[in-house]
Amino acid sequence: MINTSEVQQRLRRAYKMMLKFFGVKVMGEGEEDTKVTEVERAENFASRFENLTTNPHNNLRITRILLSLGELGAEEYQALLVRFFFKEIFIKNRLPRMKKSAMNFFIPAVRDSQDRQDLLFFAWRYYFPKEEFVWGNHGELARYKAKPVVAALLPAPLSECTPVYSEKEKKWMSGEQGEYGEDGWYQLKNGQIVLPATLAPEIVRTLHASTHGGREMMEQQLETHFYVPGLSVVCKAIAQQCVTCAKNNPRTGPSQPPGKQPIGLSPMASLQIDFTVLPPCKGYKYLLVMVCTLTGWVEAFPTRTEKTAEVVKSLMKEIIPRYGLPRDRVGQWPCIYTELFAATCPSIGYHLEATHCLQAPKFRKSRKNEPHPKDSDVQIVPRNVTRLVGCAPDSLITH
């Protein structure tokens, strides 16, 4: 028995295929198509747009698709699709005969009232001649301010409420150039929206939950749209409180001085080898990573165990046929021994020098002009892979 969510996913994919027939490509995020991220021209857009211009009855089919997407609960597709058609109609002038259909049918098909107002304002800005625009009051449209794109960051319950500013915040805003919007938000002259101090942690926490970015990245994303007093402190606190980041991100702070690592004389002649543990998937539990000490080239292979046989198998099937037998290898995994290499390589005329990654000594106070601490590549690569997989959604890991 197919569940309702699977049926909806199939219908969404079907509508995306229909839109592609009309020269419109809807780019989703992930295989589930649960979130639309971009709408762009398909490869066949030239001939398909000509068909739309020649046969206006296709406009009714597009209207039907917009209405159906709303019925399926996929309202996020509607506004982006209509805005795409508006750009083609009013800015690029590719679909001039679709103008009235878009205004009379496309906009009313959008369920979200705020999106409808933004689309009406967008059409009015680029409509020519202006005196023929009959879908709204010109004076109100001239005073209208579109919803900031970053409003999607607001949690659903908070996006529908009026912000409450403290007396201290109101006093500060009275000395700044800006104005209150009809929804109660105070917007500065540069376009930034002033967030109340009580609301800032919720916004930062919502952003961090979707990206797991660090303090600097979240600051850069928010500063463009929001003014938040003490934003750096809030971002740092939220990032430090995240359990997922604490499990997967490397520890920050002073590093230990590095040991000296041998470097090969030719590509893939000297390899650093290490295993890292990954979330189990289809019987694979580990990732074997090999890094060339000369070029930094990385080869990685999923394995079921972290035994010597896995290393030999990867060397014989992947490395040696392409690059030849490595002259030496550097490893840092206690479960793998070098007897097999030492016994096998002399028989085929190679001398394999087995050395371990040098462990850095215990931390001591760095002296002046001392080299900056640095981890070996074979430690960094698996650690980064583990961190990225650990922060990824469960739906991606299973694939």
**Do 226 and 339 reside in the same domain of the chain?**
no
Instruction: Please write the tens of the pLDDT for every residue from 259-299.
Output: 666 777 778 888 888 888 888 888 899 999 988 888 888 89
**Do 122 and 203 reside in the same domain of the chain?**
no
What is the reported pLDDT for 75? Answer: 83
State the Cα–Cα distance between residues 258 and 227, nearest whole angstrom: 42
Whether residue 173 is contained in a domain is answered as no
- Helices 58-71, 45-54: axis angle to 10 degrees equals 110
**Do 142 and 12 reside in the same domain of the chain?**
yes
Whether residue 179 is contained in a domain is answered as no
Whether residue 159 is contained in a domain is answered as no
Instruction: Please write the tens of the pLDDT for every residue from 87-127.
Output: 889 878 888 889 999 999 999 999 988 889 888 988 887 88
CB contact set of 234 (below 8 Å; sequence gap of 6+): 200, 201, 204, 228
User: What mean pLDDT, rounded, does the chain reach?
Assistant: 75
Final residue in a domain of this structure, among 116, 147, 178:
147
Q: How many residues does the chain have?
A: 399
**Do 306 and 387 reside in the same domain of the chain?**
yes
**How many domains does the structure of the chain reveal?**
3
User: C-alpha 17: how far from its chain's center?
Assistant: 24
Whether residue 288 is contained in a domain is answered as yes
**Do 287 and 386 reside in the same domain of the chain?**
yes
Number of Cβ atoms within 10 Å of the Cβ of 7: 11
Residue-wise burial string across 145-181, b where 16 or more C-beta atoms lie within 10 A, e elsewhere: eebbebeebbeeeeeeeebebeeebeeebeeeebeee
**Do 239 and 357 reside in the same domain of the chain?**
no
**Do 140 and 243 reside in the same domain of the chain?**
no
**Do 87 and 39 reside in the same domain of the chain?**
yes
Whether residue 160 is contained in a domain is answered as no
Whether residue 167 is contained in a domain is answered as no
**Do 309 and 354 reside in the same domain of the chain?**
yes
CA nearest neighbour of 377 among 278, 279, 300, 285: 300
State the Cα–Cα distance between residues 321 and 137, nearest whole angstrom: 73
State the Cα–Cα distance between residues 27 and 39, nearest whole angstrom: 6
State the Cα–Cα distance between residues 303 and 153, nearest whole angstrom: 40
**Do 306 and 380 reside in the same domain of the chain?**
yes
**Do 277 and 379 reside in the same domain of the chain?**
yes
Instruction: Please write the tens of the pLDDT for every residue from 208-262.
Output: 887 787 888 888 778 777 888 888 888 888 888 787 777 776 655 555 556 666 7
- Determine which helix (DSSP H) or strand (DSSP E) holds 187, and give its type and residue range: strand 186-188
User: C-alpha 57: how far from its chain's center?
Assistant: 38
Whether residue 152 is contained in a domain is answered as no
CB contact set of 119 (below 8 Å; sequence gap of 6+): 79, 82, 83, 86, 107, 110
Final residue in a domain of this structure, among 147, 164, 179:
147
Whether the CB-CB separation of 272 and 291 falls below 8 Å is answered with: yes
Number of Cβ atoms within 10 Å of the Cβ of 74: 19
Whether the CB-CB separation of 85 and 95 falls below 8 Å is answered with: yes
State the Cα–Cα distance between residues 198 and 164, nearest whole angstrom: 9
CA nearest neighbour of 303 among 314, 317, 294: 314
**Do 308 and 215 reside in the same domain of the chain?**
no
Q: What angle do CA 334, 335, 340 make, to 5 degrees?
A: 105
State the Cα–Cα distance between residues 103 and 119, nearest whole angstrom: 9
Whether residue 12 is contained in a domain is answered as yes
pLDDT-derived band at 327, boundaries 50, 70, 90 = low
CATH code for the domain of 322: 3.30.420.10
Can you tell me the mean pLDDT for 325-335? 55
**Residue 240 burial by Cβ neighbours in a 10 Å radius (0-12, 13-18, 19+):** exposed
Range of 278's domain?
A: 270-363+371-397
What is the reported pLDDT for 392? Answer: 55
The fraction of the chain above a pLDDT of 90, given in percent, is 6
Final residue in a domain of this structure, among 107, 130, 147:
147
Residues pairing with 38 in the sheet: 27
